[in-house]
Structure 1
Amino acid sequence: MGSAAAQQADGPASDQPIQLEPINVEGRGAGVDVGYVARQGSAATKTDTPLLETPQSISVITRTQLDQQGAQSVKQALGYTAGVASNTRAGFDGFDIMYSRGFILDRYLDGTRLLGGANYTAPQIEAYGVQQYEVFRGPASVLYGQSSPGGLVNAVTKRPTDYAFGEIQGSVGIVDRWQGAFDFGGPVNEDKTLLYRFTGLARTADSQVDFTKQERFFFAPAVTWRPNDYTSLTVMANVQHDPHVGLYSVLPAAGTLFSDPNGKIPRSRYLGDPDYNSYSRDQQSISYAFEHRFDDVWTVRQNFRYMHVEGETEQVLPLLRLSPTSILRYALYDKVDIDALTIDNQVQAKFDTGPMRHTFLAGLDYQRLAEGDKLGQALASPIDVFNPIYGPGSPRPPIVSSTMQKTNQVGLYAQDQMKFDRFALTLSGRQDWVDIDTRDRLANTTTKGDEQAFTWRAGFAYVFDSGLAPYVSYAKSFQPAPGVSASGAAFKPTTGEQYEAGVKFEPVGINASLTLAAFHLTQQNVVTSDPATPALRTQVGEIRSRGFEAEAKARLFDGLDLLASYTHADVEVTKSLNPLEKGGRPVNVPQDMASVWAFYTLSAGAMDGLGFGGGVRYVGKTAGDVANTFFTKSNTLVDAALKYDFGRRWRQLNGVSLDVNVWNLFDKRYVSECTNLLNCVYGPGRTAMATLKYRW
């Protein structure tokens, strides 16, 4: 790390009441870096609650961990987190699809959901603008409405600080990666009632696949007004332009996952059309977080965000294998427009009833999504997988589908967190009303769906003086199911329920935390299809997920940060109209995952200021198709990091540091996922980046 001010710039602003920003370890003292261990969080409760008293499994990825591991995306940030399979579409930097407990992990920004994401376009958050990530595993509908039963990841953005700081950095890396970024802020006036922060980044990079590249321009200004100790208003904007998102071409299983008499398909192989190859995205958002504390009892909050996203994709993709070497392709065109609005109103009261202490929360939130999608498809020329000849070019295909879907959700929720001596009890309930209108703009028809759902959660924890806290909980979820049945009726939402039991341990006098959680999770009303009658789709499906997760984080002594995790998830399709699916494992869901990471910073002697570390990630095999006729292979990857603070040795270079991060150090070639025999993806090969920073 650099100067003290630079260290402070890594932590959230002190004394600033911000919705869903945990009071983590960086906030315990100005400029104090205590590593990876967070003590409090609010993603599971929407209140600042000690993790020991929260009766569900939570992980917090701090800024210290993000910096030491050099995370450039949410997938890299969550690569060492228990219960999260972040290897999905590992080579597609434009997608943030991850799985938890067998289900896709929902993505949130500052406590409200990132809405939208038809086909190839979905909002994406730049990792450099994130202060930390929170992973909340299991159903979260009781506070957030429609949600995946697997849980959510919440990105907490960088906020204005009440001290002046600045950072500029330049990076170079594999493959032909060039990046520049800045982050600065502080008080505008002497009494520090007005604060600001401005974060930005520009990046360009090639990829391991021919004819593909990435470009991004990102700017995020923010202003905080704090007229007194009771009121705070933070207004944030986000502008992101991605001229080239970096979509990779998928490859067949033969020649990648399996041996082929014609040879091995290289990682650089591109099976699309270089003259019809684009993927762009633009997103803008404006949001605010308001809080006013009337007294020691009553507090009100309001969080608002409006986001607009546009994306356009032109690709040629594999369709059908014609021969051992030839694949028939199709041309794809997809244009998506997203307008999303979220607002969450909260009232919180802290009071006592006899010996019982209460933190009571009531809220009313509203979500509105308007998402238009134009999809074009047409047959394209075949290509030789092992000796591709490109050209003469593919014309844009005709539009075959054009839809506009509008979703409105209103939710009313209440929660009481009761604490008596060492007992902590949480009871929550929520009622949601959802209406979905889907307009077919080609046929000029509209399908309407109106649903209601009640979800609830109950959890209990007992906190011993030693820092040991066993807990149990039950939670329900719901999630709208897109599409209509064969009769034309809209599908009902899927529902989920989870039983979880575990133990958390924060040993007294040691900066460490350990969590062990066992879960049994079931999702009902899953949409399935009959292979004999493809048009027939019905809601008789069920998926069961059960297993356990273990995670440990610690700073054993000054300068040594450690983390380790292990996950076992037995996920099975227990009911399905499709006999090929029943009894099988969903694709992209490994049964076992494990990771370990260590980083040590020297603080004395000739090597003062040198930090070094590394980690190992293991991901088990996953099903290659819904029928489980084949599986990917397990893989073990090694990462490494080296950092040096020049200011620790030369005072005139105070604030200057160099970071070097390498992922997949030994350049292991592996297939990260398959969804069928023609849709497999290589995981990234060795990637490295060196970053020179100056902080003041």
Structure 2
Amino acid sequence: MARLPLRNIENPQVYSVIPKEIIAEQVVVDYNSIFKNIPGAAVPVVYNQGRSAMLSRGFTTANFIRNSISGFVYTNIDPANLEVLQAIKGPSGTLFNSGQISFGGLFNRVTKKPLEQNKTEIAFTGGGYNLNRLTFDINRPLTNDKQVLFRLNGAVHTEKSFQDQGFTRNVMLAPSFIYKLNDRLDFLLDIEASLYNATSPIRFAPSATATTINNIRDFGMDYNRSFLTNSLDYHTQQVNFFGQVNYTLSGNWKLQTNITRTFSTTKGYVTQLIGVNDSMLRQRAQKENFPYNGVELQQNLVGDFKIGTLRNRIVVGIDYYNQRSDRNTPTVTLAAINFRKPGAAYNNFNADKIDSAAARVIPETYATNISNYSAYVSSVLNITPKFNVMLSLRLDNVDNKGRYDVATAVFTDAFNQTALSPKLGMVYEIVKDKLSLFGNYMNGFDYNAGSDSVGNPFKPQQANQWEIGLKTDLFHHRLTSTISYYDIAVTNVLRLAPGGVFNIQDGTQISRGFEAEIIANPIDGLNLITGYTYNDSKLTNAAADVNGLRPATAGPMHLANFWISYRIVSGKAKGLGAGFGVIMEAILIKPIPINLSLKYPPTLFLMPPHSMILLNAGLD
């Protein structure tokens, strides 16, 4: 997470880690469900192709980081290949590509790597809505000296929707290899490939003006009806190649080279429902052909040495990232229907109707090409054995070729911008290795395309965070916790000038709040994960109709998560266990009252949401 040998209690940044053991214990069958264990991140934003983003400190945060560098996919993610999921909080522009993260942080998917022992594990999960899921994990040393290791993870998943139409089917394979040439040099190759066939998540956008209803509960729409047919499906493919070379120069210095190539594409139909008034909607479909290609090269030099009597840990790195995409998308909108009593028109939203109409529509056809060039340094200096200071700096340049319109051969919104991102962190261990006080200043940035009314290019948005908190690691790691308060101020935000013709760059936003997480294992077999977040986000210089208001993308103001489980650790019933979890969210409408709802209903582990049956077989 810091790209350095740094324990959590020494790290001035806040992060949460969800290991594969929790993922397995909760019988997680979809990627989004893992986030219910991360304070403040449990509310998913699900997009057309099933891809998702989560919340972090009041900002929507995509899932684009894998093994600490780009894992860019615009499709679903299967959790079967996850070793851990890391949630790294706050603007992190010093060590990560700004185009892959948000001002609230990032989520890093760390994949399973080969082991030195034989392992075979096969699991089947079945449940409601015709859920059938098969996963497997096979590990083999390929040579007697264990210099060559191989591991294969995979999943086959089928499931219907709770609505009258809708389905998901996917296959994922993830082979990985390690070759240890000698004690100083090793190579890792990690591949993840998947095929998805599914219907789009249903999105309904009510009319912003032609309605008298203020609460979706009063809208009268039947949630069990999808307003589409299963012929409106899409196919996605994704392949992630990750390679790593580790070379030890000496006992204190190491070189690490990372390379990743990503490909993801969607081909088929993505759908949306558009509100007309209190009883009418229009069905809309895009017929997509939308591939993304990405490559990232990263070189790190990591050192752990002394300056006089002071320990210094340092990473120096350079990074190149390129992403290209092509889009060919006709959009079709059907005639309005009454969603309360749709009648025979309900079945009109099908592939034949869309194909016929799309043939007469000029598609949106364009290409993009974006490159990032970066250099960074981060150093942790121990002033005393209990007190360390982290200083980091990143120089980042983006070269965005703009949007190339295939029909007109014209580029629009091209720009080239450069940004510096500093970071300062301090940690004082009040009780060595057990209790620490930390504070940080962190910066993040995001690029703005376009120019102002006189042609001056816009500057990057900047987010500056101040944070202070406490970390604990007690009773031989049986109780760990992090408590912190943060304040994030965003500047250079674009907003429409009065009159609504040009953008101006004087918008500002604040996001401040409190986070607490406790992870406890008081006795063998008993595990507890609990967290609470409070986030106050508002636009502080914006258009008159939204100024001073909380952005819709900030999510709930209050969010709490709780999970407790017990598993028998000895005797004939070893391995048998049960768990219980709940997530609660609250949105502050005005100063009062608070609207409280359960985002995930309380659920016994023995009867998860799909009424699952779990069969597991393992051979070691």
Q: Which amino acid aligns with 2:13?
A: Q
- State the 1:310 CA deviation: 1.0
Partners of 2:400 and 2:137 in 1: how far apart? 40
- State the 1:128 CA deviation: 0.6
| 2:71 equivalent in structure 1 | 114
| CA gap 1:275/1:125 in 2 versus in 1, 3 angstroms | closer
Does the 8 Å CA contact 2:148/2:180 hold for their aligned counterparts? yes
Asked if residue 390 in structure 1 is aligned to residue 342 in structure 2, the reply is no
Q: Which amino acid aligns with 1:165?
A: K
Does the 8 Å CA contact 1:276/1:315 hold for their aligned counterparts? no
| 1:422 equivalent in structure 2 | 386
| Equivalence map 1:95-244=2 (5 Å) | 95-107=51-63, 108-115=65-72, 122-146=74-98, 147-244=101-198
- State the 1:586 CA deviation: 0.8
| 1:662 equivalent in structure 2 | 608
Partners of 1:325 and 1:632 in 2: how far apart? 26
Does the 8 Å CA contact 1:83/1:567 hold for their aligned counterparts? yes
Partners of 1:531 and 1:74 in 2: how far apart? 43
Asked if residue 380 in structure 1 is aligned to residue 337 in structure 2, the reply is no
SS across alignment from 1:143: coil
Partners of 1:661 and 1:184 in 2: how far apart? 28
| 2:3 equivalent in structure 1 | 46
| 1:270 equivalent in structure 2 | 226
- State the 1:434 CA deviation: 0.8
Does the 8 Å CA contact 1:250/1:271 hold for their aligned counterparts? no
Number of residue pairs aligned between Structure 1 and Structure 2:
597
| CA gap 1:488/1:212 in 2 versus in 1, 3 angstroms | farther
| CA gap 1:510/1:372 in 2 versus in 1, 3 angstroms | closer
Does the 8 Å CA contact 1:69/1:641 hold for their aligned counterparts? no
| 2:612 equivalent in structure 1 | 689
| 1:462 equivalent in structure 2 | 428
| CA gap 1:399/1:482 in 2 versus in 1, 3 angstroms | farther
| CA gap 1:61/1:617 in 2 versus in 1, 3 angstroms | same
- State the 1:149 CA deviation: 1.1
Correspondence for 1:282 among 223, 228, 237: 237
Partners of 1:326 and 1:62 in 2: how far apart? 46
| 2:417 equivalent in structure 1 | 451
| Equivalence map 1:256-335=2 (5 Å) | 257-260=215-218, 264-272=220-228, 274=229, 277-322=232-277, 324-335=278-289
Partners of 2:238 and 2:477 in 1: how far apart? 43
Does the 8 Å CA contact 1:320/1:329 hold for their aligned counterparts? no
Does the 8 Å CA contact 2:582/2:598 hold for their aligned counterparts? no
| 2:585 equivalent in structure 1 | 619
- State the 1:280 CA deviation: 2.1
Q: Which stretch shows the higher mean deviation, 580-589 or 376-385? A: 376-385
Correspondence for 1:553 among 511, 519, 526: 519
Partners of 1:53 and 1:384 in 2: how far apart? 60
Partners of 1:331 and 1:213 in 2: how far apart? 17
| 1:432 equivalent in structure 2 | 396
**Alpha-carbon displacement from aligned partner over 1:208-231 (angstroms, at most 9, x marks no partner):** 122210010111111100122222
**Alpha-carbon displacement from aligned partner over 1:660-688 (angstroms, at most 9, x marks no partner):** 4513xxxxxxxxxxxxxxxxxxxxxxx33
Partners of 2:545 and 2:594 in 1: how far apart? 15
- State the 1:621 CA deviation: 2.7
- State the 1:181 CA deviation: 1.6
- State the 1:405 CA deviation: 1.2
| CA gap 1:488/1:336 in 2 versus in 1, 3 angstroms | farther
- State the 1:248 CA deviation: 2.3
Does the 8 Å CA contact 1:257/1:632 hold for their aligned counterparts? no
| CA gap 1:326/1:450 in 2 versus in 1, 3 angstroms | same
- State the 1:490 CA deviation: 5.4
Does the 8 Å CA contact 2:50/2:75 hold for their aligned counterparts? no
| CA gap 1:486/1:175 in 2 versus in 1, 3 angstroms | farther
- State the 1:279 CA deviation: 2.4
| 2:558 equivalent in structure 1 | 592
Partners of 1:415 and 1:125 in 2: how far apart? 31
| CA gap 1:502/1:151 in 2 versus in 1, 3 angstroms | same
| Equivalence map 1:634-673=2 (5 Å) | 634-642=597-605, 660-663=606-609
TM-score normalised to structure 1 length: 0.81
**Alpha-carbon displacement from aligned partner over 1:369-393 (angstroms, at most 9, x marks no partner):** 0012233224311122112232443
| 2:406 equivalent in structure 1 | 441
Partners of 2:21 and 2:471 in 1: how far apart? 22
SS across alignment from 1:446: strand
Partners of 1:635 and 1:269 in 2: how far apart? 23
- State the 1:537 CA deviation: 2.8
Correspondence for 1:402 among 365, 368, 372: 365
- State the 1:531 CA deviation: 8.3
Cα RMSD after superposing both structures: 2.6
Partners of 1:622 and 1:231 in 2: how far apart? 55
| 1:580 equivalent in structure 2 | 545
Partners of 1:310 and 1:507 in 2: how far apart? 47
Does the 8 Å CA contact 1:60/1:135 hold for their aligned counterparts? yes
| 1:411 equivalent in structure 2 | 374
| CA gap 1:549/1:125 in 2 versus in 1, 3 angstroms | same
Q: Which amino acid aligns with 1:113?
A: S
SS across alignment from 2:21: helix
| CA gap 1:510/1:416 in 2 versus in 1, 3 angstroms | closer
Partners of 1:632 and 1:240 in 2: how far apart? 40
Q: Which amino acid aligns with 1:509?
A: H
Partners of 2:201 and 2:478 in 1: how far apart? 42
Identity %: 21
| CA gap 1:633/1:165 in 2 versus in 1, 3 angstroms | same
Q: Which amino acid aligns with 1:548?
A: F
Does the 8 Å CA contact 2:205/2:275 hold for their aligned counterparts? no
SS across alignment from 2:24: helix
- State the 1:601 CA deviation: 1.1
Partners of 2:163 and 2:319 in 1: how far apart? 43
- State the 1:564 CA deviation: 0.8
**Alpha-carbon displacement from aligned partner over 1:109-129 (angstroms, at most 9, x marks no partner):** 00112336xxxxx14432011
Partners of 2:574 and 2:148 in 1: how far apart? 38
Does the 8 Å CA contact 1:350/1:358 hold for their aligned counterparts? yes
Unpaired segments ≥5 residues, structure 1: 1-42, 117-121, 643-659, 664-686
- State the 1:76 CA deviation: 1.0
Unpaired segments ≥5 residues, structure 2: none
Partners of 1:483 and 1:276 in 2: how far apart? 39
- State the 1:572 CA deviation: 0.4
SS across alignment from 1:538: strand
| 2:31 equivalent in structure 1 | 74
| CA gap 1:591/1:365 in 2 versus in 1, 3 angstroms | same
Partners of 2:453 and 2:409 in 1: how far apart? 19
Partners of 1:526 and 1:611 in 2: how far apart? 50
Asked if residue 370 in structure 1 is aligned to residue 324 in structure 2, the reply is yes
Does the 8 Å CA contact 2:48/2:270 hold for their aligned counterparts? no
- State the 1:83 CA deviation: 2.6
